[in-house]
A and B are shown apart, each in its own frame.
Chain A
Amino acid sequence: MASQNTETKTLALANSRIETSLRGMLSRTQEHSSVTRMLVILLGSFAFFTVLQPAIFLNPVNLQNISIASPEIGVIAIAMMLAMLTGGIDLSLIAIANMSAITITTLYSTLAAEDPQAAAEAMPFIVLLGLVVGGVAGAFNGFLIAKLQIVPILATLGTMQILNGLAIVWTGGSTLYGAPEALTAVGKSGILYVPTLFVLFLLTALGVGVFLNQTSLGKKLQLLGSNPVAAKYSGIDTSRVLMRTYIVTGLLGGFAGILFLVRNPTSSADYGSSYLLLAIVIAVLGGTNPAGGFATVWGVVLATLTLQVVSSGFTAVRLSAYEYAITQGLILIVVMVLDFLSSRRKTRAPKLSRFKLRRKEV
């Protein structure tokens, strides 16, 4: 009798051990699942369009176009992901990128008109200034959000209006020419058949990945997003973390502006006006939880490529830009509905906690 009892006890113990280890494995696969899912979707959509229009779609020019078009929107989507990771959002990213591009173009072309030699020498510093513009704009966002405690969506909405307005005033609404030739040259170059732009994109993603997972700020940022109260009580200076996050986001926006110029030597106040929705679609599709706390860089990279594949696939099968817009909207909603359904099936979260999530995301 007694031995039987101990036996059941050990059995129960073994059982629970197996269960915990299984749970751990499951949660780990969950973490990778957004990347795996994105990889499947990317390969699936690639195969789909290859079957429909193999001659056009598999053309090297098309593949090159995909890899040249993805970096600028990809970097913006990664920045969007960082803001979403803290439970916020950054609507000002495209305005920041344009501001950075306009600053570089104006400075360089005025300097080049006077003294081409000096302009060529000052070029690296002028390009760096684009990053500085991004950083300053990001710091302004951070000040509004972390110090004044304005809701991120409204703060960045205001910054977006201001920067966009300033860009209109500055350019007079026209397109500026005369970006540094060196940047354009980078845009035309490649490393082993891979466009340099695309390599830059992958390096940025790698950098942000290291930042998120290896640095203390990255870890704090993730904790802050998943549970702001817990983060505060574990001694994290939330206001400082938010401030720095939005500076990083702004820097990435400024970098995206440089990439704009690398791809296309002109800049204007309204370049990339369709990028805002696209960046959010990519971030969410890449597995970013809009309520904060969870995201992967590689999911976002794969999502960027997927949307670019879909976009060029639509062109290949002669669907219009309007139909691409419809698809973007549908993808966003369907992905979120599926995420909702699967999270409900997995956790059966009590309704109350769902509502707490909801309040945070506004």
Chain B
Amino acid sequence: MSNSRMSTVAQFVERFRGANNEGILLLVLAALVLVIGTLNPVFFSVSTLFSILRGVLVPLILALAVLIIMISGGIDVSFVAIAIFAGYTSVVIAQSGGGDPGLIVIILIALFFGLLLGAFNGFVISLFRLPTLIVSLGTQSLFKGILLAYVGSKYIANLPPSMDSVATTNILSIPQDQGVANLHVLVIPVAIILILVAWVLKKTMFGRAVYAIGGDMEAARRAGFPVVRTQFYIYMLAGALAAIGGFLHVTLGRAANPQDLVGNELDVLAAVVLGGASVFGGRGSVFGTVLGVLLIQVINNSLILAGVPTSWQRTAVGVLLLVGVGIQALSARRQSMKSHVTEDTEKE
């Protein structure tokens, strides 16, 4: 009796936890918001919400690129270099014509470079089967070096008018006691991309191939997945996503600085790992990643509101990362112990 009730509770807990501990993450996020809110009631306001939403746009898109690669069993740090390369180069090319080629053309140029650089990563990694972290460390240095040496190293403050007008467009403006809370228009395309990537990962053959390769590459091959080709596409897709992230970064910042983004890759990586993606591959979800990015953004945004100096940001993210990964590692170990016990009793 009590046993069965316990099992229903356990079942509920299990379901709430989600496949990658998304439920726990949601609780942590809620608790954090509550604590910061009690410490400083200013936190509970529409403008805080909107400014956090605006702040997560770029990290979210970049995190998707990292997520796809991580699910496939790799680790990438070159996505920041691809992002700023695509974002900066598209502005340089758009301005070389003299006029404004329009938003669509600029995005296409950015996407082109994202796909190109992603394809280079994919080529090296899928064909030679090299350790992804070390390859991407190399390509990060390579891409950033090429950008600064041959494309330009100057800060561009005047963006094409089409980008500038997007940067100042809001879909919702709610007047507040002090100023106005603005919901930025770019929230919509980012939401669409999130849903699209979630759909691709869950429902398409390509998405299942990504999980299969990350789970066990040899098994995926034997099951008939085209491993090399899929890996190649994964890195191209990640490159394209990074390029969109770079474009958003340049647009939202209203300036193109080739020194930006590179150096912040670990924050994004930490967010994806916190979101439940496994560095061994085969696990991870878009929902978890969104929560992970939100968590880090809330911490970065709200430490001041909670009375903690901003210089503690980096330490806080580091501690959070270790706690998150530590819990994962411990629960994985407990899981494996559990399965050993059942095996033994069955034998007896």
Contacts of B142 in A (CB 8 A): 325-326, 329-330, 333
B47 at the interface (CB under 8 A from A): no
Check if B279 is an interface residue, CB within 8 A of chain A. yes
Which residue of the partner chain, among A168, A277, A330, A332, contacts B314 with CB atoms under 8 Å? A168
Proximity bits, A150-190, B CB within 8 Å = 1, else 0: 11011101111111111011001100000000000000000
CA of A341 to CA of B270, assembled, Å: 33
Contacts A89-B133, A150-B322; A165 near B140 (Cβ below 8 A): no
* CA distance in complex: A165, B316 (Å): 8
Q: Is B129 engaged at the interface, CB distance under 8 Å to the other chain? A: yes
Given contacts A158-B322, A362-B132, A362-B280, contact A172 B145 (CB under 8 A): no
B315 touches A354 (CB 8 A): no
Which residues of chain A from 314 to 362 have any CB-CB distance to chain B below 8 Å in the complex? 320, 322-333, 336-337, 340-341, 351-352, 354-355, 358-359, 361-362
**B270/A161 in contact, CB under 8 A:** yes
Q: Across the interface, do A325 and B141 meet the contact criterion of CB distance under 8 Å?
A: yes
Contact across chains for A329 and B138 when beta carbons are under 8 A apart: yes
Question: Are A169 and B315 touching (Cβ within 8 A)?
Answer: yes
What string of 1s and 0s marks CB contacts (under 8 Å) between B134-169 and chain A?
Answer: 110111111111101100010000000000000000
Partner of A277, one of B130, B131, B137, B269: B137
Is the C-beta of A191 less than 8 angstroms from some C-beta in chain B? no
Whether the Cβ atoms of B218 and A332 lie closer than 8 Å is no
B299-319 interface (Cβ within 8 A of A): 309, 311-319
Taking CB atoms, residues of chain A closer than 8 Å to B138 are 277, 281, 328-333, 336
Q: How large is the interface on B (under 10, 10 to 19, 20 to 34, 35 or more residues)?
A: 35 or more
Contact indicator A155/B315 (Cβ below 8 Å): no
Q: What separation, in Å, do the CA atoms of A332 and B138 have in the docked complex?
A: 6
Write the nearest CB–CB distance from B151 to chain A, whole angstroms: 10
Determine the residue in chain B with the shortest Cβ distance to A169.
Answer: B311
Cross-chain contact A328 with B318 (CB below 8 angstroms)? no
Q: In this assembly, does B241 line the interface, its C-beta being within 8 Å of a C-beta of chain A? A: no
Q: Are A359 and B273 in contact (CB under 8 A)?
A: no
Give A42 to B234 CA distance when docked, in angstroms: 37
For residue A229, give the distance in angstroms from its CB to the closest CB of chain B. Answer: 15
A143 to chain B, nearest CB (A): 10
Tell me which residues across on chain A come within 8 A of B315, comparing CB atoms. 161-162, 165-166, 169
Find out whether the CB atom of B153 lies under 8 angstroms from the CB atom of A322.
Answer: yes
What is the CA–CA distance of A155 and B323 in the complex, to the nearest angstrom?
Answer: 10
The segment from B55-63, B104-112, B200-208, B325-333 found at the interface with A is: B325-333
Question: B133 — nearest CB in chain A belongs to which residue?
Answer: A153
Closest to A168 in B: B311
Tell me whether B172 is interfacial, beta carbon within 8 Å: no
Helix, strand, loop or mixed for chain A's interface?
Answer: helix
Does A159 contact B279, Cβ atoms closer than 8 Å? Answer: no
CA distance A362 to B282 in the complex (A): 13
Closest residue on chain B to residue A340 by CB atoms: B128
Residue contact B318 to A280, C-beta cutoff 8 Å: no
Smallest Cβ distance from A251 to chain B, in angstroms? 21
A214–B325 Cα distance when bound, in Å, is 36
Specify the main secondary structure of chain B where it touches its partner.
helix
Contacts of B333 in A (CB 8 A): 149
User: Could you tell me the distance in whole angstroms from the C-beta of A344 to the nearest C-beta in chain B?
Assistant: 9
Q: Could you tell me the distance between the alpha carbons of A324 and B269 in the complex, rounded to whole angstroms? A: 26
**Measured CA separation A152–B134 after assembly (Å):** 14
A66-93 interface mask toward B, CB cutoff 8 Å, 1 = contact, 0 = none? 0000000000000000000000010000
- In angstroms, how far is the closest chain B Cβ from the Cβ of A326? 4
A residues 258-288 touching B (CB-CB < 8 Å): 273, 277, 280-281, 284
- With a cutoff of 8 Å between Cβ atoms, the chain A residues found around residue B273 in the complex are 154
The distance in angstroms between the C-alpha atoms of A329 and B317, with both chains bound, is: 28
Q: Which residue of A lies closest to B316 (CB)?
A: A165
A328 touches B141 (CB 8 A): yes
Which of A151, A324, A333, A341 meets B135, CB within 8 Å? A333
Q: Smallest CB-CB separation from B328: which chain A residue?
A: A150
**In the complex the two chains form, is A161's CB within 8 Å of B218's CB?**
no
Contact of B322 among A155, A325, A362 (CB under 8 A): A155
Q: How far is the CB of A300 from chain B (nearest CB, A)?
A: 15
Which residues 247-282 of B sit at the A interface, judged by CB distance below 8 A?
263, 266, 269-270, 273, 279-281
Q: How far is the CB of B267 from chain A (nearest CB, A)?
A: 9
A144 is an interface residue with CB less than 8 A from chain B: yes
Max chain A Cβ within 10 angstroms of own Cβ: one of B131, B139, B146:
B131
A148 within 8 A of B: yes
Q: Is A291 an interface residue (CB 8 A)?
A: yes
Given contacts A337-B130, A359-B280, A173 and B311 within 8 Å (CB-CB): yes
Q: Are B218 and A158 in contact (CB under 8 A)?
A: no
Assuming the A-B contacts A153-B279, A173-B311, are A336 and B135 also in contact, with contact meaning beta carbons closer than 8 angstroms in the complex? yes
* B134 nearest CB neighbor, chain A only: A290
Kindly state the separation between the CA atoms of A148 and B315 in the bound complex, as whole angstroms.
20
Q: Do A320 and B330 touch (CB < 8 A)?
A: no
Report the minimum CB–CB distance from A309 to chain B (whole Å): 18
A105–B134 Cα distance when bound, in Å, is 33
Tell me the A residues contacting B by CB distance below 8 Å: 89, 144, 148-151, 153-155, 157-166, 168-169, 172-173, 273, 277, 280-281, 284, 290-291, 320, 322-333, 336-337, 340-341, 351-352, 354-355, 358-359, 361-362
List, sorted by A's number, 19 A–B pairs whose CB atoms are closer than 8 Å: A89-B133, A148-B330, A150-B322, A155-B322, A158-B319, A161-B318, A163-B318, A164-B318, A165-B313, A165-B314, A169-B315, A320-B149, A322-B148, A325-B148, A326-B141, A329-B141, A336-B128, A336-B131, A362-B73
Residues of B within 8 A of A (CB): 73-75, 124, 128-135, 137-146, 148-149, 153, 217-218, 263, 266, 269-270, 273, 279-281, 309, 311-319, 321-322, 325-326, 329-330, 333
Cβ-closest 5 pairs across A and B: A161-B318, A165-B315, A165-B314, A329-B142, A326-B145
Q: Other CB < 8 Å A-B pairs besides A162-B319, A336-B135, 6 of them?
A: A169-B311, A324-B145, A325-B141, A325-B144, A329-B137, A362-B279
